[in-house]
């Protein structure tokens, strides 16, 4: 089946109405007085996000299945587009098996920077609608549009506008569920994938939920599903009709009560906007366990530069530097130190990280992973460095900002510290 056929099928499904669900394309009053009047929660879910971004960047993939994942002998699937999914390919599947199921697919290794850039652009669109955006991952988020209705119209109109902007500005598609609660909105977006929009009016929530399998309820894994099956509960409607006390007896008070409420369309969660980052960090797992102090020092420098670069890009500074040291047997220790002044300078972060490592008693210990993290971060404009009497500014912050600009223009490997560059030349 071609991509065009899939898109046509999605449009057809959007025009099907069942159990009172209002489909894509329905006409709604501009004042928000329609059946979506109390449905102010939206769940936005990008369609096959990683694979869709790869298709944008690789024209040869337009009419072929796309799989993203590791290409080595132990590689696994990270994402598959809907053409590949039709062949049975799914995430976490061994790549060898995926290629047997879909030999005509194009396989791309994950491109983290491209996915982050696309994700940030989509999240910017969402935040232009309302500040009440709760990202769940790089490709999905909840929105509370109750405050945007006066300016933009009812929830369904807002959802349609978001879909159109994502399509026009990013050339990507998304599916949107609209409902009165986050749980139902998320199920709505799943129900209308790919490239759909679905409203579940409050008066028809039970008609929508009841036929679904119990596995559609959050928190219902294999173990819980087996427990519910033993009670003769196979659909959400079955769970909704059973006594809450029985669920609590079988699953525990907290899980039983939560499950009973969700099955009855009650979700006490609200959209919680993303809180500012409290820390910025980077880790490296070595290909082989490393005990050489010089090599570990170099890796601390590399990680410190990566962390500092991320902080400057986000306009953040921080005061507490911590390191993670994981031994070959997976046991892990953490060490930290709080500076007198906030910083976003790699040279300063690395100096503390190296000292923490040198004082850890782990020298010559075989390590499989190390990490550097700056905690207690805040916006750079809220903090300034107060020089002590007689202290001179080193100028390293300006040097590293110049390095940032060079890396942005020519790529991250275009300029680096001499220690790292010298080592890389030896490795060639």
- pLDDT tens digit sequence for 378-405: 877 544 444 343 434 445 666 666 666 6
Tokens of 82: 């809907």
pLDDT of 20 above 50: no
* CATH code of domain 1-209: 3.30.70.270
Give residue 159's pLDDT: 94
**Annotated binding-site residue? 344:** no
pLDDT of 19 above 80: no
Confidence of residue 34 (pLDDT cuts 50, 70, 90): confident
Beta-carbon count within 10 A of 90 CB: 12
Three-state SS at 357: helix
Check whether domain 210-263 has CATH 3.40.50.1970, yes or no: no
Beta-carbon count within 10 A of 388 CB: 8
* CATH code of domain 279-383+391-427: 3.30.1490.100
Q: Give the best-scoring range by mean pLDDT among 169-178, 281-290, 393-402.
A: 169-178
Q: Which residues of 64-75 are buried (b: 16+ CB within 10 A; e: fewer)?
A: bbbbbbeeeeeb
C-alpha 276, offset from chain centre: 15
pLDDT digit string, tens, across residues 77-86: 989 999 999 9
Q: Which active-site residues does the annotation give? A: 140
Contact (Cβ atoms closer than 8 angstroms) between residue 209 and residue 235: no
**Annotated binding-site residue? 45:** yes
Contact (Cβ atoms closer than 8 angstroms) between residue 91 and residue 79: yes
Three-state SS at 43: strand
**Separation between Cα atoms, residue 112 and residue 49, nearest integer Å:** 12
Half-sphere exposure of 178 (CA within 13 A, CB side): 28
Q: Where are the domains of the chain?
A: 1-209, 210-263, 279-383+391-427
Confidence of residue 408 (pLDDT cuts 50, 70, 90): low
Give residue 403's pLDDT: 61
């Amino acid at each position: 089946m071609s991509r065009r056929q899939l898109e046509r099928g999605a449009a057809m499904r959007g025009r099907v109405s069942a159990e009172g669900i209002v489909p894509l394309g329905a006409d709604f009053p501009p004042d928000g007085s329609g059946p979506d009047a109390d449905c102010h929660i939206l769940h936005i879910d990008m369609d096959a996000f990683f694979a869709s971004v790869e298709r944008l960047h690789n024209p040869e993939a337009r009419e072929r299945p796309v799989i993203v994942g590791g290409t080595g002998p132990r590689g696994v699937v990270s994402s598959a587009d809907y053409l590949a999914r039709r062949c049975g390919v799914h995430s976490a599947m061994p790549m060898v098996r995926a290629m047997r199921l879909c030999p005509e697919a194009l396989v791309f290794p994950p491109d983290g920077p491209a996915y982050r850039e696309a994700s940030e652009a989509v999240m910017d669109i969402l935040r232009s609608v309302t500040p009440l955006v709760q990202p769940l991952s790089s490709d999905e988020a909840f929105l509370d549009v109750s405050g945007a209705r006066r300016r933009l119209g009812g929830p369904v109109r807002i959802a349609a506008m978001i879909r159109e902007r994502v399509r026009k500005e990013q050339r990507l598609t998304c599916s949107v569920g609209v409902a009165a609660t986050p749980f139902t909105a998320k199920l709505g977006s799943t129900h209308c994938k790919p490239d759909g929009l679905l409203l579940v009016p409050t008066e028809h929530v039970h008609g929508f939920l009841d036929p679904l399998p119990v596995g559609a309820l959050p928190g219902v894994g294999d173990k819980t599903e087996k427990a519910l099956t033993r009670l003769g509960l196979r659909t959400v409607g079955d769970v909704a009709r059973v006594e809450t006390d029985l669920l609590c007896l079988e699953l525990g008070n907290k899980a039983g009560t939560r499950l009973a409420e969700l099955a009855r369309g009650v979700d006490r969660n609200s959209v919680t906007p993303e809180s500012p980052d409290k820390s910025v960090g980077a880790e490296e797992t070595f290909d082989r366990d490393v005990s050489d102090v010089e090599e570990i020092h170099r890796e601390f420098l590399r990680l410190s530069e990566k962390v500092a670069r991320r902080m400057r890009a986000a306009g953040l500074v921080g005061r507490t530097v911590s390191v993670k040291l994981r031994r070959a047997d997976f046991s892990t220790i953490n060490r930290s130190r709080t500076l007198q002044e906030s910083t976003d300078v790699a040279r300063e972060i690395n100096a503390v990280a190296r000292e923490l490592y040198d004082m850890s008693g782990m020298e010559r210990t075989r390590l499989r992973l190390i990490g550097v993290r700056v905690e207690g971060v805040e916006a750079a404009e809220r903090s300034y460095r107060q020089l002590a009497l007689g202290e001179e500014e080193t100028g390293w912050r300006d040097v590293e900002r110049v390095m940032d600009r060079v890396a942005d223009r020519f790529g991250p490997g275009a300029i680096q510290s001499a220690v790292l560059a010298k080592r890389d030349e030896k490795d060639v």
